[in-house]
Amino acid sequence: MSAAASYPTHWRRPPAFFGTRRRYWLFIGGVILYFAWSLSTLNIDVERMLAGLPRALDIFARMVPPDFSKGQLLLKGMLESLQMAFAATLIGAILAVPLGIAAARNIAPRPVYLAARGFIVLNRTFHEIIIAIFFVKLFGFGAVAGLLTLALSSWTFCGKMLAEDIENVRMGQIEAVRATGAGFAQTVVFSVVPQVLSRTVGVLIYRLDANVRHSTVIGIVGAGGIGQTLSASFSRYDYDFAAAILLCIAALVALGEWFSDWVRRKLR
Amino acid sequence: MNTATAAGAAPVGAPASALLRVQDLVKVYPGGKRALDGVSFSVERPEVIAVIGSSGAGKSTLIRCINRLVEPSAGRVWLKETEIAGLPWRELRRVRRRIGMIFQEFNLVERLTVMENVLSGRLGSVGFMASLMRRFPPQDVSGAFALLDRVGLDGYHDTRADALSGGQRQRVGIARALMQRPDLLLVDEPTASLDPKTARQIMRLICALAQEHNTPALVNIHDVALAQSFASRVIGLKAGGVVFDGPPAALNAEALTEIYGAEDWSQTIRRVSDEDDE
């Protein structure tokens, strides 16, 4: 390599996302300016924040010791939350299978794909809380509204995850099964299902865990479960009972997380 | 095999004797690439036919147009007396189960067992519930065991496909294709993912089984020497058209230049001695 000396010795990675270095620095400058402007207009009142501190201490003081004397009420709320979470996950999972297949670009016909994706996007536009408020208006206070909320969001969530897993399968394996003369359903059973099964079970367990957490929250807008009990105790300044509820929710969520971790470790 | 699917009498232009007949086959992909530009040939007897040509010459498109994994733009294909082009979906499934296919990347369903992969060759002949419950007819199960033994994988039936080596995977792929008891084998670059020795073993196995089952095989292959030593007929494709069709012995420097372009071919053209490397 006698000509080595004439080659450049300096090289830098071309800017990937912004195209040019100028645009990159313009973007960084813009972010800094926006942040400064936001801080100056938000009226962050340090005095008010400090005034909140003694009130927080007061609430915490009244939370101790937690009051477990209304165990019946507590247990009923927890069970309702759990039942909501389990039933909603099951309903969502069953409905998610056809939705996931329909929303997979690589195996569904184009119009079916577009309709299914549209449905998913529309559903995911609204947070669970908003859907819960709507369902409480439709079906009244209680667990029915909560169950329907969680089932609807589990349906679209699991459907979307399943569709994305199906879109990532190896097409060669599908092609090979198709080439044997298998029909559509057989192709799904013999080449798509084996490729997505373990990931899908993982998603379901994760969703069950998430539903347990969500079920404790949506009760606050009246959709049943322990959240409704919690919300009622707060509005009655019943802080020691609220503390007992919070402890139980924490224990339940931790248990759910541990269970979902354990199952997904087993799946690998 | 089920011959009741044939639409009436033998169609005009298809000689009754032809096992496979391809006529003026054209494929234009969306975007305008003309992959096949009027390919015609016919297979009169069960033999191994090597299809050679540079990358992009249309080899893969050709065999995928025959079982319509790729939809041809124009032209006609007959498998024995059945015309494939234009068949409705249900009829197409019937024809596909008469055509076995072997792939470069093996395309086994990796999380399934070897047995499930081999039995998937019968999917065209069993109902949905039976395939869901993996309840295959006894003669299919014994046939699958026999084929596994024949391809040298006796005892591997419960192994998951992703635990096999490349050569073993291709043997499962071969068993799956033959499980269909096919009238035609389509073989797409069967050796391109294998080492030279395994490649020769696999080619030898495919040729032997094609002969045992009296089935013609259309084999896309990159390796000219391998094509020459195993095929009894060679079809050369160039830019979507047939530029050579003859015995491997006729494949001289002139023919190779016509197929692939100018190059020093003296090292390529030599009959590789078919030493026993099993």
- Residue A177 and residue B93: Cβ atoms within 8 Å? no
Reported ipTM: the value is: 0.83
Distance (Å) from the alpha carbon of B39 to chain A's nearest alpha carbon: 22
- Residue B131 and residue A197: Cβ atoms within 8 Å? no
Is A188:A196 a contact under the CB 8 Å cutoff?
Answer: no
The model's confidence at residue A122, banded by pLDDT at 50, 70 and 90, is very high
Chain B hits for A185, Cβ within 8 Å: 128
Q: Residue B124's domain is classified under what CATH number?
A: 3.40.50.300
For residue B10, being part of any structural domain is answered with no
Total residue length of chain B = 278
For residue A14, being part of any structural domain is answered with no
pLDDT tens-place string over residues B85-129: 889 988 999 999 999 999 999 999 998 999 999 999 999 888 899
Q: Give the contacts of A64 (CB within 8 A, at least 6 positions apart).
A: A240, A243
Whether A4 has a pLDDT exceeding 70, the answer reads: no
Number of domains in chain A: 1
Closest Cβ opposite residue B111 in set A176, A183, A194: A194
By residue range, what is the domain housing residue A77? 70-267
By residue range, what is the domain housing residue B61? 20-260
Q: Testing the interface with A: which of B2, B65, B90, B107 to mutate, by most A Cβ within 10 A?
A: B107
Q: Give the contacts of A182 (CB within 8 A, at least 6 positions apart).
A: A190, B93, B120, B123, B124, B131
For residue A61, being part of any structural domain is answered with no
For residue B276, being part of any structural domain is answered with no
Give dist(CA A173, CA A180) in Å, integer. Answer: 11
For residue B60, being part of any structural domain is answered with yes
Q: How much is the pLDDT for A264?
A: 77
For residue A252, being part of any structural domain is answered with yes
What pairs with residue B99 in β-bridges? B184
Which pTM was predicted? 0.77
For residue B143, being part of any structural domain is answered with yes
Q: Residue A156's domain is classified under what CATH number?
A: 1.10.3720.10
Number of domains in chain B: 1
Q: How much is the pLDDT for A2?
A: 52
Asked which of A63-72, A89-98, A138-147, B249-258 is least confident by mean pLDDT, the reply is A63-72
For residue A52, being part of any structural domain is answered with no
The DSSP code for A251 is H
- The alpha helices in chain B, defined as continuous H runs, are 59-66, 89-96, 114-119, 128-132, 138-150, 166-179, 196-212, 224-230, 253-260
Whether B275 has a pLDDT exceeding 50, the answer reads: no
Give dist(CA A183, CA A180) in Å, integer. Answer: 9
For residue A3, being part of any structural domain is answered with no
